[in-house]
Structure 1
Amino acid sequence: MVPVFSPLEMIFVRGEGSRLWDQQGRDYIDFGAGVAVTSLGHGNPVLLKALQDQAAKLWHVSNYYTNEPALRLAKKLCEATFAEQVFFCNSGAEANEAALKLARKRGVDISPDKIEIVAFNGSFHGRTFFTVSVGGQPKYSSGMGPNPAGIVHVDYNDIEAARRVIGAKTCAVIVEPVVGEGGIIPAKPEFLKALRELCTANDAVLIYDEIQSGNGRTGALYAYMNGDVVPDILTTAKGIGGGFPIGVMLTTAAVGNHFKPGSHGSTFGGNPLACAVAEAAFDAIRDPALLASVRDKAERTAGRLRDMGARLGCFSEIRYQGLWIGCELSERFANRAGELIGKAAAHGVLALQAGPNVLRIATSLTITDDELDEGLRRLEAACAALTAG
């Protein structure tokens, strides 16, 4: 394999619920959910049935045609959100690529110099050359020559900085309602409100990147539903497929109609298998009882983590929205999140990083109380090992 990853040494062979087993038969509690992807756990029987049923009917027909699962999923997404149109693709990066291209296309349709995209430091929007350039982390975009022109970065949650750069040449503002890779940092409501007002005043589109924050992760179907601001474009992926690759761009007809046949495309986008699985996942995720359970488990988990941090001295702050939790390491253990993840894996619990100083937890939305308790117990043992060292 090309050396772009640095995986831990275990190789997983089976998963059930929020547990994984490696080649040696050792079990792990999964607190990462494949980076917020396996939203309904491993081996979910509802998703498995949807995949098997569709696999027996139709796998692929290309975008010269459409198919029933894609049409059903598009209708459900539009009925449940602000959207009137959707574009299906295969990943979050592709969803953001589509959104940014659409925003540029709309901008140029209005005026040839309306091409500027405003984004925020610490953000992450994907790994294509365009999306990694829009993302606000130079470590991901450097070393490949000049980035595309017309991209401006300012600090997240800084209203005055946004006011200085959003103007007549702005075609889009792209923002994560909760910054994920940059540390699980929720946007301030007044910041999002200001972005909406600035976009409206300058005829720019507001793009919400909900690749991770969408699909029940924050305890709402989509994070924008936690506030009063409605975007013009929303991108999502990860949890909507429950582990099957799919990405979606949702938008209004007024914005979406700037694309014409041939403006954009995706060979596998809208694939019947992906859409059938995603439809089953979406139906399960939007259940009010499941979303209430996410909010309840998040409160209890954050409380346990705060207590753990106070007793062991490992965490200085716990930030969260739903089952998406960032544990800021205390000054004594600054920038050692990677080390803590290694110790956690050694103690049988899988977690993530959100920068060098934040342990990230993103369990499945359906994690059981027993799995959650066991995972927290193992994480506490890992934190104790870190502090003892």
Structure 2
Amino acid sequence: MSEAHTEQQAPEGAASADSGMLDELTGSGSGADWLARYTGSLLGVFGIPQRVLVRGSGCYVWDADGQQYLDLLGGIAVNVLGHAHPFVTSAVAGQLATLGHISNFFTSPTQVALAEKLIELAQAPSGSRVFFTNSGTEALEAAVKLARRNSTPERHRILALDGAFHGRTMGALALTSKEAYRKPFEPLPAGVEHVAFDDVDALTAAMDETVAALVIEPIQGEAGVRPLSPEYLRAARELTRRYGALLILDEVQSGIARTGRWFAHQWVDGVVPDAMTLAKGLGGGVPVGALVTFGEEVSALISAGQHGTTFGGNPLATAAGLATLHVLETSGALQNAIDVGGYLREQLAALDGVVAVRGAGLLIGVDLDGDHAAAAVQAALTAGFIINATGPATIRLAPPLILTHEQAASFLDALPDILAAARTQQEAPA
């Protein structure tokens, strides 16, 4: 069995020693105890958590009450190698024991090597560069600054798409289209316009010499896993090139092998962006993001002193990134994402109560025949599966890329009962 399909164990002795030390620091308790402490100590921006998770191995996690779950969300497309992968665990522990953080007055071998690897995997031209961040939204903030550096008094507009989600910091939020996210924080940075999703005519009408950048997700994750068509991506590339605008691709959720290619845009021949944002799966669970600029001209838009970060690209985060990419590259995980993802989409589409299935690789959106997606998430938890609702009638799957056919089949076998329970709960009197 390949490394990609093997349940992972932490290095011998490390898990028990670390667990014992942390138990002394945190204390212990049931899930209910921890949730009471949570509500008394953390800002309530996420509401009340669904469960208190205490450990993981491979594609499984366990909560504070000992219940096991098959993790089909992967920390929202983050845990590409599952939980506690031994190679990543060893690389991170070894790096932290050697050199964890140094600030960006200095560099480290892991920072340089990870930048080189990303440029290689992106098949980026000579002169391409990388700026490391701590998260996807910070990568988008850097991309907004890049777009501003491509601006002139005449070229000042930034285009994004209806349904877009690019983050919650102010620049990224300006690119995000969801009114509920935007309205409490208006006025947002000016100059951003949203155009219709996957509509070439609308994009053509919006594009001219006043556009500094077009920022798009090849697959909109938060909107319900909605892929842009190849025709749209090609039109976006041609129009931005024609008018001197930057094509910035947000691959935070769709990148790092999630779709069976290193980056989702690589499924479409001839589409090479001017810049690309990454995060989520890049560190295999350790926070790290990146802005990749393609070619010398775009890379020169931001110069010394015009942007920065304290933690971005530190030795610990970049060691995690290098280890994660190495395992993905050598374990067959990209092909596994294609194979298991294709199996899941085919089987899901055949189920009663499912009206549409979208996505690529192991990024999958499932539309249900009613507004019971939130109830389905709760029913799935009861049955031992972690999934996510992106809308009233849509669930999202973004599991580890090591998910096996057998694990996928266990979810498919349970899903009819999960959906039946969700319908019953949705229809019950309030």
Decide: shared fold, TM above 0.5. yes
Q: Aligned to 1:119, what secondary structure does the other structure show?
A: strand
Residues 337 and 361 in structure 2, CA contact (< 8 A), matched pair in contact too: yes
Residue number among 165, 177, 197 corresponding to 1:156 in the alignment: 197
Is 1:347–2:386 an aligned residue pair? Answer: no
Structure 2 residue 318 is the aligned partner of structure 1 residue 275? yes
* Displacement of 1:388: 4.7
Distance 2:407 2:49 in 1: 22
Alignment partner for residue 139 of structure 2, among 84, 95, 116?
Answer: 95
Q: Which residue of 1 aligns with 2:150?
A: 106
Match of 1:245 in 2: 287
What do residues 273-295 of structure 1 show as CA deviations (whole Å, max 9, x unaligned)?
A: 00001101112223483211111
Cα distance in 1 for partners of 2:200, 2:186 equals 31
CA deviations over 1:35-71 (Å, ceiling 9, x no partner): 0000100011111011011111101110111111000
Asked which structure has the greater CA Rg, the reply is 2
Partner of 2:76: 35
Q: Shift of residue 384 of structure 1?
A: 2.5
Contact 2:133–2:313 at 8 Å: present in 1 too? yes
Contact 1:103–1:205, Cα closer than 8 Å, also in 2: yes
Distance in 1 (alpha carbons) for counterparts of 2:179 and 2:382: 31
State the partner residue of 2:357: 318
Percent identical: 37
Specify whether residues 352 and 74 from structure 1 end up closer, same or farther in structure 2 by C-alpha distance, changes over 3 A only. Answer: same
Is the 8 Å Cα contact of residues 348 and 378 (structure 1) preserved in structure 2? no
2:373–2:422 Cα contact (<8 Å) kept: no
Distance 1:9 1:171 in 2: 42
Q: Does residue 125 of structure 1 match 2:166?
A: yes
Query: Which of 300, 318, 332 is matched with 1:289 structurally?
Result: 332
Partner-residue secondary structure (3-state), 1:66: coil
Provide the C-alpha distance between the structure 1 equivalents of 2:96 and 2:141, rounded to a whole number of angstroms: 29
How far residue 80 of structure 1 moved from its aligned partner, in angstroms, is 1.8
| AA at the equivalent of 1:161 | A
Query: Equivalents in 1 of 2:327, 2:263: separation in Å?
Result: 14
* 1:232 corresponds to 2:274: yes
For residues 339 and 134 of structure 2, the distance between their equivalents in structure 1, rounded to whole angstroms, comes to: 31
State the number of aligned residues.
379
Displacement after TM superposition at 1:377 (Å): 2.8
1:373 aligns with 2:409: yes
Which amino acid is 1:250 matched to?
Answer: V
TM-score (norm 2): 0.86
For normalisation by structure 1, the TM-score amounts to: 0.94
SS of the aligned residue for 2:184 comes to coil
Which of 47, 50, 62 is matched with 2:91 structurally?
50
2: CA distance, partners of 1:199 / 1:318: 31
Distance 1:295 1:22, change over 3 A: same
Output the CA distance in 2 between the equivalents of 1:93 and 1:54: 26
User: Equivalent residue of 1:47, what SS?
Assistant: helix
Residues 154 and 161 of structure 1 are in contact (CA less than 8 Å); yes or no, is this contact kept in structure 2? yes
State the alpha-carbon separation in 2 of the partners of residues 160 and 152 from structure 1.
16
The two structures, once aligned, show a CA RMSD in angstroms of: 1.3
Structure 2: give runs of 5+ residues left out of the alignment.
1-41, 426-430
